[in-house]
Amino acid sequence: MSAALEIQGLKKTYGNGFTALKGIDLSVTQGDFYALLGANGAGKSTTIGIVSSLVNKTSGKVRIFDHDLDTQREQAKAQIGLVPQEFNFNVFEPVREILINQAGYYGIPRPEANTRAESLLRQLGLWEKRKNQARELSGGMKRRLMIARALIHRPRLLILDEPTAGVDIEIRRSMWEFLTELNQSGVTIILTTHYLEEAESLCRNIGIIDKGEVIENTSMKKLLNRLDSEHYVFDLEQEVQTLPPTDAHCSIRLRDPATIDVEFHKGHYSLNQVFDFMNRNNLKISSMRNRTNRLEQLFMDLVEGNKA
């Protein structure tokens, strides 16, 4: 099975001499939900720009479902749907017209475009706004309109550049559900985001770009397994003043009388042992959560490591 996206030796130097990409290699398998992460200015948007033909590359090869972007441009571009970071539709056009025009650029006749537009607008909760000008939509609706526009030609590869930036948590979660269903239907998804929790919960594989180089390209599971410690916060039903001592591989301390911080080394201690400790000492737990986002911690470690 060919890769959904295959990038080899991709370089980009802008006119002002700034080298955004220093020859990156990247491969995304078909059906994957792939996170492309990096700090601001790391080269994510340049990579996406080149893949979607909005940025001219300096050198290197890009293949989309085995179609070379240089020699089979039309076939390669027909496979991609792009949701860019910035709102970039004509704000004076009605919502449905934006979708129908986009379908037209892919050669989809108007009756078929109408049917597809209705289906997408309904799925994304925009049907009631179909006659409104795009400028009249809320931020979350504009984001969903961008997703609908990117899907109107039924692409096999959907690229989302920070799709949930600035939207409230309710809409963000409904977008996650929508994207998960889309991925389950066979669409390969590449996601860039600054919400690392989002990448961790949605994506199976991950690439990290820093200073124009890919510094990590692996599965989310393997990457997260590299963390040698876990941090949890437990809320207690009843307040306590002191805690008994515990194993050397586990640190349990009181943050306040009703909250306990737990940190343990993976491989030496487990969450089951933490629960045993709680039970032995009659500590009733009302809730628990990760103290820090695991991917965020790894991401910071990798980027800091690259600086050194």
Partner 1 sequence: MNAQQKWVAYYTIVVKEVLRFARIWVQTILPPVITTALYFIIFGNLIGPQIGDMDGHSYINFIMPGLIMMTVITNSYANVVSSFYGSKFQGNIAEMLVSPLPNWIILAGFITGGVARGMAVGLAVTIVSMLFSDWQLQNILVTISMGLLTSILFSLAGLVNGVYAKSFDDISIIPTFVLTPLTYLGGVFYSITMLSPFWQKLSLFNPILYMVNGFRNGILGVSDMPLWLSYLVALVFITALGSFSLGLLNRGVGIRS
Among 17, 109, 186, 245, binds partner 1 (CB under 8 A): 109
DSSP-derived 3-state class of residue 127: helix
Q: Which is nearer to partner 1, 63 or 294 (CB)?
A: 63
> CB of 171 within 8 A of CB of 151?
no
Minimum distance, C-beta of residue 12 to partner 1, in the bound complex (Å): 8
Q: Which is nearer to partner 1, 102 or 205 (CB)?
A: 102
Q: Which is nearer to partner 1, 79 or 217 (CB)?
A: 79
106 contributes a contact to partner 1 by CB under 8 A: yes
Q: Which is nearer to partner 1, 24 or 108 (CB)?
A: 108
252 contributes a contact to partner 1 by CB under 8 A: no
Q: Report, in angstroms and rounded to the nearest whole number, the Rg of the chain calculated over CA atoms.
A: 23
Minimum distance, C-beta of residue 137 to partner 1, in the bound complex (Å): 15
Q: Is beta strand 188-192 parallel, antiparallel or unpaired with respect to 33-37?
A: parallel
Cα distances (Å, whole numbers) of residue 249 to 230, 260, 262: 11, 16, 11
165 contributes a contact to partner 1 by CB under 8 A: no
Q: Which is nearer to partner 1, 153 or 294 (CB)?
A: 153
* CB-based burial, 149-161: b 16+ in 10 Å, e otherwise: bbbbbebbbbbbb
- Interface with partner 1 by CB under 8 A: which range of 85-93, 164-172, 266-274, 284-292? 85-93
59 contributes a contact to partner 1 by CB under 8 A: no
Chain-centroid distance, C-alpha 106:
26
Residue 212: is it exposed, middle or buried by C-beta count within 10 angstroms (0-12/13-18/19+)? buried
Chain-centroid distance, C-alpha 145:
18
SS (H, E, C) 281-305: CCCCEEEEEECCCHHHHHHHHHHHH
78 contributes a contact to partner 1 by CB under 8 A: yes
Place of tokens 């820090």: 292
56 contributes a contact to partner 1 by CB under 8 A: yes
**Distance in angstroms (rounded) separating the CA atoms of residues 252 and 236:** 13
40 φ/ψ angles, rounded to the nearest 5 degrees: -60, 135
Place of tokens 């049907």: 127
Give how many residues touch partner 1 by CB under 8 A. 36
Chain-centroid distance, C-alpha 90:
26
Minimum distance, C-beta of residue 111 to partner 1, in the bound complex (Å): 11
Among 77, 154, 156, 266, binds partner 1 (CB under 8 A): 77
Minimum distance, C-beta of residue 56 to partner 1, in the bound complex (Å): 5
Minimum distance, C-beta of residue 6 to partner 1, in the bound complex (Å): 19
> CB of 182 within 8 A of CB of 189?
yes
For 305, the token pair is 């490591």
Among 44, 63, 116, 149, binds partner 1 (CB under 8 A): 149
Task: Map residues 15-54 to x or -, x wherever contact with partner 1 holds by CB under 8 A.
Answer: -------------------------------x--x--xxx
Q: Which is nearer to partner 1, 152 or 274 (CB)?
A: 152
Residues in the site for partner 1, rule: CB under 8 A? 14, 46, 49, 52-56, 73-75, 77-78, 80, 82, 84, 86-91, 97, 100-110, 149, 153
